[in-house]
A and B are shown apart, each in its own frame.
Chain A
Amino acid sequence: MKKQFLKVAMLSACMAIAGTSFGQLQDEKNVTMTMDLQPILQLEMSTPDQVDFVFDKLGDYYGGITKYGATILKVNSTVAWDLYAVGTSNDGTYWDKQMEYGTGTDPNAVEDLPLQLLELHQSEANAAFTAGTGFRNDYSSAFAAAPYTPGENNVYASATPYVLPAATEKYIQGHNGTADFAPGGSYLTQGSSMNSIYYYVIDYRIVPGLPAIFPTAADNATPPTALDLVSANAAGAYAQPGVYTMNVKYVLIENQ
């Protein structure tokens, strides 16, 4: 009888404790937050995509033609980035000849005009190029008057424009190494637009010379290899008159 009483008492106590535990106020609701950070790389070009150089005066041949501010580039990026310019054409080496003036029978008249005869000047210097091993790491040098320094501003040329340029080539911003990049940002928020690495004014120059051998043409080796028509061909060579075209691509990529 005594033990039965003990059992009943213990069961009652147990139920009382358990009942209290279940009766206490506690409730929970959950919210799952998902954040999708999509990478953004935007390169805006607010200027015409066609730049024409017409050489029809003796002075233009001698002094060349410079197109100031012909291209303006604006960068928006949420990731670290590199920017480079690459001159290209059908064969990635020479300008594409669209038409020829005259008979074109003179053996000294050369139709293969190197892409590197085009010179670029960027308004803001490259700030990250420790991996660069070429003659110049960007296009920030001012266009020099004669005597020219071949290789100073000549465009990087390639038949594979979307392959990252080698360490020996010029970049507008960043370079071939992973440590060489510009941080994410925007021309909209990075202070004054005219001294920002997110805003570039690009000038172009072509100097044919007379005879038209393009004396500034060179690659970016150290020292540069001259690509003027005499050095690349033979004494007496000159450019075949005609219409030539090439394409300059500005490529903005995530740092790599």
Chain B
Amino acid sequence: MKPNQYLFIPFLGCLLLLAGTGPATAQCGAPLTANCQGVPSSELIQSSNGSVDFTFDDFSRYRSGITIGGATTLRLKVLPNNASCKWSLRVYIENNPGAGTPVNEWESMTSYGNGSSAPTLDLLSIKVYNGCGTPINNNVYQNFTPVNGSYIDIINDVSLVPAGSCNTNVNGAGTYLSNPSEFTFMIDYRVVPGLTFSPGMYQLNLHFCLVEQS
């Protein structure tokens, strides 16, 4: 074997290892630093059903909407590599654009009747809260910008807010076991369709992302 081949083999292995890390960052954005430990030492745990159904079969529900409280619960465990560990928690909205869904609408699974006006993505409201009120917009209903891939920041990582302070935007290292009021997040969902949209079955996905980006 030629000496150059000795160099090529580990180089190729290195490329494969690096390539293996790529796809996982596609939705949530690439982690830019490594001040916190990765999975499985750190973890985002979803201790609730991964499916939320809204069924509108009564006129009053169309007008007043449906609220599903605490439908999603997220628990975080973030262990540090060093004292600069800080993280962000963000939720993206996605409507399966690969199926041809218009960028601002829910994906249509089936339609009832004659209409063709699908609901827009800003129809969904979410409210995030926890015991310490750490989310940036704690306990307030928010709507997504009606564009596939838009997001709402629950916790950002602009500056480090250590755990244990029970303040807004706590993003330092910690776990739901030791700081449950800061590392547990409950999410309520609300949809008030009104009478604008066509009857049918619609769907979208929410991606909750725990990542360190700065």
Give the B-binding residues of A (Cβ under 8 A): 3-4, 6-7, 10-11, 13-15, 17-18, 20-40, 42, 76-80, 183-186, 188-189, 254-256
Contact = CB atoms under 8 A, between A and B. Distances in A.
Nearest to B209: A28
Contacts of B25: 26
A26 B38 contact: yes
B34 A39 contact: no
Given A27-B39, A40-B59, A35 B17 contact: no
Most chain A beta-carbon contacts within 10 A, residue among B50, B195, B210? B195
A164 B52 CA distance: 39
B62 to A, nearest CB: 5
Most chain B beta-carbon contacts within 10 A, residue among A20, A23, A33, A256? A33
A35 B106 contact: yes
Interface of B: 3, 6-7, 10-11, 13-14, 17-18, 21, 24-25, 27-28, 30-31, 33-34, 36-39, 42-46, 50-59, 62-63, 71-72, 74, 78, 81, 85, 87, 106, 109, 112-115, 119, 123-124, 189, 191, 193, 195, 197-212
A3 B6 contact: yes
Nearest to B3: A3
11 contacts: A3-B7, A15-B14, A18-B18, A25-B78, A25-B85, A28-B207, A28-B208, A29-B207, A31-B208, A35-B201, A79-B199
A25 B210 contact: yes
B22 to A, nearest CB: 9
Given A37-B56, A37-B197, A27 B44 contact: yes
B38 A23 contact: yes
Give the top 7 A-B pairs by smallest Cβ distance, nearest first: A14-B14, A24-B31, A184-B195, A18-B17, A27-B44, A29-B46, A39-B199
A71 to B, nearest CB: 21
Given A22-B38, A31-B206, A38 B112 contact: yes
Given A27-B39, A40-B59, A35 B203 contact: yes
Contacts of B31: 24-26
B47 to A, nearest CB: 10
Given A3-B7, A26-B210, A28-B208, A38 B14 contact: no
B208 A33 contact: no
Given A3-B6, A18-B18, A27-B42, A36 B54 contact: yes
Given A33-B124, A76-B59, A39 B113 contact: yes
